[in-house]
Amino acid sequence: MSEDITTDEVIITDERVQHIKERHPGDYEQYFLYMAEIVEDPDYILEANKPASALVLKHIQSNGKSYKLILRLKTSRDPDGFKNSVISFQKVEDRRYNRYTHSEKVLYRKE
């Protein structure tokens, strides 16, 4: 799949920001400042349950918290003008973070 990703630009729409605020209260407001670091320097990228999507995991050392970001990837099959886009974002407990890394297909692991 990664060979078919056509851009490295990542966006988040107002609609997705609203989704995150509604579904994961407080996470966007408290942790949005980490979103770029999560996308640019993930610890893991896992196969998501939807086509052309990935589950991005990152543990931030400075605050000791772990995060999950779901990313929709723009492929050659998408219309021009589409970008990679954040679908969802939230803080996750370490136990859930570890479960993801052991139960999902790992596409990338930071060495």
Spatial distance between the Cα atoms of 25 and 43, rounded to a whole number of angstroms: 24
The tokens for 74 are 């723009």
* 100, pLDDT greater than 80: yes
Spatial distance between the Cα atoms of 22 and 97, rounded to a whole number of angstroms: 22
pLDDT tens-digit map of 56-72: 999 999 999 999 999 99
List the domain range (segments joined by +) for residue 30.
2-109
Q: How many domains does the chain have?
A: 1
pLDDT tens-digit map of 11-66: 899 999 999 999 999 999 999 999 999 999 999 999 998 888 999 999 999 999 99
